[in-house]
Structure 1
Amino acid sequence: MSLPKGLAEDVSRNLVMVAQLIDEDPEKAYDYSRVALRLASRVAAVREAAGFAAYATQKYSEALAEFRAARRMSGGVELWPVMADCERGLNRPERALAMAGEPEVQKLDKAGQVEMRLVAAGARRDLGQLDAAIVTLQSPELASSAVHPWTARLRYAYADALLAAGREREAREWFAKALEADKDGSTDASDRLAEMDGIEFVDAFDEDEREAEERGEALDADADADLDEDEDEDDDLDGSDDSVGDKS
């Protein structure tokens, strides 16, 4: 659907703000998405952006409605995994699993299929089916040594499931593999490894701040001590003056 130039520019500005803020300030991104939605609710890209903004703020029912609308308008299947994850967010893991078995999954590209696998494994865990979650994640994509944008997250999810199942040695191995593939810091695999190894990181800035506070407290204590000594000396002098006066 085409929009008049002025309206299109207004919508575009709001969508740009959604994209810029969705990670650092999702609530504000959501506000911008609502403005864009009021301006152009019949544009698929607007409905999709509104869906992701609602998803980022955990408004899963609203997000699902927007994704469905965007899908009806565009006819694509790329939103299928995130729609299934919305079902998980709404405490309906069975529906997410049902979606994982629908024909739409076969139409997804490789990244979309991996995302669907992650959602399905999460749904299995929601249902307390840890072993099934582990099996769901076992795939050629997991076994491959090639690194793709989704590799770190897939390995991380597998490691986390193994750890939840009490398979710590294997979990550590896969957290290490996730870290190896995590070029942009999309997971906290390094923290999980450190936790498993009993390593505690100390923030250098916090340490410096503590030392500065301790130095400040020591200086305050010294100043108080000096003040007390000065007061004692003044008292002694006052006492001496009184004695001289008495003798006269």
Structure 2
Amino acid sequence: MNPQKDVLPTSGWGRYPVVDSVVHRVRWQSDLSTSQTPPATLAQGRLRSYGDAGLASSVLSTLELNRFLAFDAETGLLETEAGVTLDEILQFCVPKGWFLPVTPGTKHPSIGGCVAADVHGKNHHSDGSLVSHVDSLTIVTAEGDVLRCDRSEHSDLFWASFGGMGLTGFVYAVCFRLMRISDSRIEVETHRTTDLAETCQLLLLTQTEFRYSVAWLDLLSRRRRGRGLVMLGRHASGGPLDLHPAKARSIPALGG
């Protein structure tokens, strides 16, 4: 089956630049055969990167590669197609007592895009980037070969694909390890700091106690440059495994 295609203006999260792309919609792994795939194409996910990442004149969209392939409820090993979003993974795994091992600044990217950027989260100091938690990738090469890549088989391709921005081949599926949780909530502490030295010292002293940490800095103050807010988080325990409902957004009506 030939993938459907459309010509669409596409852009990343920053909405610039805008590129007119021939978007080929991939539904099945067989759509990636060399006889059906046009040359010089780039895999494209949810376009949640800034700049021109994922933009090209001809792209292979992963939006319809959104299936869960396998899950081990005992070990938390999950395999999905590349187009599954982090939000969809959270909806699936949190009620079962599992959580994403790495969470970037948004829940909307595809897991394939997260591999391409080797994303990290606010727990980078304790858990590393995404590559630390992935067991294997299924990659379709430019020649049409389907390769199962891990740390021992096709290891060069495995390592190069993390942060490779989609240039090593089409990531069709990702098999990775989730993190066990007993509560869907995260306990958060917020501390004010007076300058950059205190901010860095607080982050250093708390890095083993808190899994998540992030700081917002004031770099405009001349007297207290680097003062800020340090937010520290860790998973709660013994509570519910409830999903947090999406907040309703109200749009004010403009009277005529």
TM-score bucket of the superposed structures, by smaller chain = under 0.3
Would you tell me which structure has more strand in proportion to its own residues?
Answer: 2
Q: TM-score, normalised by structure 1?
A: 0.24
Query: Max radius of gyration: which structure?
Result: 1
| Structure with higher RCO (Cα < 8 A, 6+ apart) | 2
Q: TM-score, normalised by structure 2?
A: 0.23
